[in-house]
Amino acid sequence: MSIRKRGTRAARRRMTAGTAAVLGVALLLTGCGDDGDTASVPEGWGTLETSSVRVGYPENEGYVEQPAAERAKSNAAVALQEKGGIRTGMVSVQLDFATGVDDAAGAAAAAGAGIGMNSTRRATEDIRLAGPDGAREAREARRIDYDFTADGRDDTPNVGTPMSGVLVAGVDSKGVPFVVRLNAVKDAVDAEDLDAFVGSITVK
């Protein structure tokens, strides 16, 4: 009887040690996931790099990074999708686009004001981006999903064409406000890819 008890105690100790080891590994893995140092970019996508953020774009869907000499001065990086000479999709990054902004709410308010009168907001959500673990406040951002209609200017689709967009606004670790956008012909980018786009953003 005592032999069985000692054996049971030993087995319990081995189980306890094994459980602790498994929990230790789990905690390490959880810690690696929580620091969110760099966001993952889907396979087949390209990457836009700026001083404040890095973001993926669907290169496998025909989006091409625009050379610096060709993009508007207000944009720090751009990737375009063109079909038949018409810009059917656009990923853009703007930096330091507003004054007096020091948090995600302020950046989102400024960015949202620029969406335009012909737009309808569908959803607004506070999110957390990937980035350096020490820059926790900088990783806070706000996502706005919206619909709008094309104005036909600058090689965009014909006036009145239904479009959809998502923007993510925040302030980087150096206090610089940023806004990242993806605008495209409505239903050309599905909800899963919009989520992947937002999830590909790393704030610096």
Model confidence pLDDT, tens digit, residues 114-126: 887 779 999 999 9
- The Cα-based distances of 200 to 62, 118, 132, 152, 180 in angstroms read 18, 28, 15, 29, 11
Q: How many Å apart are CA 184 and CA 150, to the nearest integer? A: 10
Residues of the chain with pLDDT under 50: 1-35
Residue 67: DSSP 8-state: P
CB 52 within 8 A of CB 95: yes
* Burial call 86-120: b when 16+ CB within 10 Å, e when fewer: ebbbbbbbbbebbeebebbbbbbebbbeebeeebe
pLDDT of residue 114: 81
Q: How far is CA 126 from the centre of its chain?
A: 12
Tokens 């709008």 — which residue?
148
Comparing CA positions, the residue from 108, 79, 100 lying closest to residue 168 is: 108
Between the two ends of the chain, the Cα-to-Cα distance in Å is 64
Q: How many Å apart are CA 203 and CA 172, to the nearest integer? A: 6
pLDDT of residue 36: 61
CB 129 within 8 A of CB 37: no
Type of residue found at 57: Y
Asked whether the whole model's pTM tops 0.75, one would answer yes
- The Cα-based distances of 60 to 116, 173, 188 in angstroms read 29, 31, 13
